[in-house]
Amino acid sequence: MQKIVIQILLGLLVVVSSRADTPLLVNQVDIIIPGGPCWDDTLVSSYSPPSASNNFTLPGLTGTGTIQSGVSYVVDSSTSQVHDNYTYNLSLSGLSGSGHCISLLIHFGQPLNCDGDVLVETNFGPASDVKVSSATLAPYGDITLQFGTGCLLAGQTATPFGMLTDSTPISGTVTVIDNYTSPNGGAMQSRVNVGAIVPNIPPDWLFPIQLPYPIVLPIPILQGSLVTNPYPYMPSTNGLYRFILQLLDGSNGLAVSSLVTQSVQVVNGLFTTPLPFDPNAFVGNPLWLSMSVSPPNGSNFIPLNPPMPITPAPQAIYAYSAGVVAGLAAGQAVTSLNGLTDAVILQAGSGIIFETNENTLTISSQPGVGSDRSIKTGFMEVKSEDILARLAALPIQSWRYTNEVPSVRHVGPMAQDFKAAFGLGDSEKFIAFVDEQGVALAAIQGLNQKLNEKDAEIQNLKRQNDSLAERLNELETAVKALARK
């Protein structure tokens, strides 16, 4: 039994600029060691340059891909300044499958120009290797590289390429971007972070963003506590875990973003990572976050069900009852409850569950859940007309939550009435999305069945009426014939 506790926090940053990508100059060069297109590395003293080689997998493809990365020190031939030359080699030769278009994203910053921003080393590898065809730089340092005609395909290997910078190297990650078509024909994207040597520049999620809206929005940051051992034995959770993240529409449970896979460092059970989604997705309907986790060196992902609501906590745009906190100035927040002598009252909002067990308080949510047949059991047929009759008798009122201002209104049943009418779920205080939606769908089927029965009855009455009309016409004809005699 695994217990996972996740807390969503949204950090607020100030907007200062808009986003626009800049194309970079890609040049093919023959680099002969020692030496380069604009440097002479024979002037560099001996050193041990860092390097890395890591494998990765992609959903929908079999096998593994590889990214090799490294850095060497070079001296500018004209200025004698030392620079860092980062080289990368992306190989998909160990992957098989079709319909996947692969590109690469490196958080690099602005490269130093040396016969080009990106140098494709054509004298390495066979001629069949696929060269970098384009590279674009985002404002805060993300460089997206495309290969060949725009895609690197499974089974192919990219020609090694390099970029120069003065930033020192660290062990970080690069992102493999996989664009493909889902079985139902929809465009999908998967992002996988792979360990690599990269420049030590600030991550782009530390920078503010400007959206095409007249409001300032926060950059979303996911913070949480990951507990993977049964209570009461809870040793520290540490290591590099892999997370699969996806945004869901809170109103219908449908995906509103691509799947993103990224490595997250967990220290003593705690972690912090950005939510790398299109900022536009956070405007509009409420969102839920679908998450799966794979432990270090693990091969399988564990779904964290149910999905969790994304809420602006602990920083909020507004709070209905903030006035009960005496002496709290604008811009301040409560960061500790230590030393308080008065009672602390926690009130659950919509979809939040508080449960206590002696001195333990558990806060959880009950949103929509997965609906894959393989995770269900105990199937039973339902009588849709019976569901419809119960739904018709279910009291439905307009109301507001006790922690909302009077101008806010909602419409719906009470959880107690819903439980009494249908006997679904395990609580008389909450209505799960899956049960409410299931009842609605069953009732629609029941209504459709009643309409079909009514249509059949109407058609039968119509046929009887047509038969009576025909007989009446025959009688009228006979009467007229008798009258003429």
Q: Which of residues 318 and 483 earns the better pLDDT score?
A: 483
Is 282 contained in some domain? Answer: no
Final residue before a domain boundary, out of 176, 206, 236: 206
- CB 418: neighbour CB atoms within 10 A? 24
Q: Which of residues 218 and 224 earns the better pLDDT score?
A: 224
How many structural domains is the chain composed of?
2
Is 238 contained in some domain? Answer: no
pLDDT tier, 53 (very low <50, low <70, confident <90, very high otherwise):
very high
The CA distance from 96 to 90, in Å, is: 15
Closest CA to 367 of 227, 247, 231: 247
Which structural domain, as residue segments, surrounds residue 421? 380-485
Q: Among 132-141, 212-221, 316-325, name the one with the lowest average pLDDT.
A: 316-325
Question: Which of 74-83, 217-226, 463-472 is modeled with the greatest confidence?
Answer: 463-472
Backbone φ and ψ for 192, nearest 5 degrees, come out as: -125, 125
Answer whether residue 429 shows pLDDT above 70.
yes
Q: Which residue has the tokens 């409410």?
A: 436
Is 112 contained in some domain? Answer: yes
Q: Among 134-148, 332-346, 425-439, name the one with the lowest average pLDDT.
A: 332-346
8 A C-beta contact, residue 244 and residue 259: yes
Is 388 contained in some domain? Answer: yes
Is 117 contained in some domain? Answer: yes
Q: How far is CA 331 from the centre of its chain?
A: 30
Answer whether residue 320 shows pLDDT above 70.
no
Geometric angle at alpha carbon 136, from 289 and 242, rounded to 5° = 30
Q: Which of residues 469 and 216 earns the better pLDDT score?
A: 469
pLDDT tier, 339 (very low <50, low <70, confident <90, very high otherwise):
low
Amino acid 36: pLDDT: 65
Geometric angle at alpha carbon 386, from 384 and 389, rounded to 5° = 110
Q: Both tokens of residue 179?
A: 């664009």
Q: Which of residues 470 and 240 earns the better pLDDT score?
A: 470
Q: Both tokens of residue 160?
A: 């090694």
Q: Both tokens of residue 186?
A: 């929809």
8 A C-beta contact, residue 203 and residue 262: no
Nearest-10 crossing angle of helices 384-393, 415-422: 150
Is 46 contained in some domain? Answer: yes
Instruction: Give the pLDDT mean for 396-412.
Output: 85
pLDDT tier, 32 (very low <50, low <70, confident <90, very high otherwise):
low
Q: Both tokens of residue 18?
A: 């808009």
Amino acid 236: pLDDT: 57
pLDDT tier, 302 (very low <50, low <70, confident <90, very high otherwise):
confident
The CA distance from 121 to 118, in Å, is: 10
Q: Both tokens of residue 392?
A: 């018709």
Amino acid 360: pLDDT: 67
Is 343 contained in some domain? Answer: no
| pLDDT tens-digit series, residues 236-250 | 577 778 888 888 887
Geometric angle at alpha carbon 224, from 220 and 227, rounded to 5° = 155
Is 395 contained in some domain? Answer: yes
8 A C-beta contact, residue 222 and residue 9: yes
Instruction: Give the pLDDT mean for 27-40.
Output: 68
Answer whether residue 2 shows pLDDT above 70.
no
The CA distance from 445 to 439, in Å, is: 10
Amino acid 157: pLDDT: 94
Closest CA to 153 of 50, 88, 65, 238: 65
**pLDDT above 90 coverage of the chain, percent:** 23
Final residue before a domain boundary, out of 168, 187, 206: 206
Q: How far is CA 94 from the centre of its chain?
A: 27
| pLDDT tens-digit series, residues 179-210 | 888 777 777 888 888 889 999 887 665 555 44
Final residue before a domain boundary, out of 146, 177, 206: 206
Amino acid 370: pLDDT: 59
8 A C-beta contact, residue 191 and residue 262: yes
Q: Which of residues 174 and 373 earns the better pLDDT score?
A: 174
Amino acid 190: pLDDT: 83
In angstroms, the Cα distances linking 393 to 306, 375, 389, 410 are 30, 32, 6, 19
Amino acid 352: pLDDT: 63
Q: Both tokens of residue 262?
A: 């990224």
Given its phi and psi angles, is residue 99 left (phi above 0), alpha (psi -120 to 50 degrees) or beta?
left
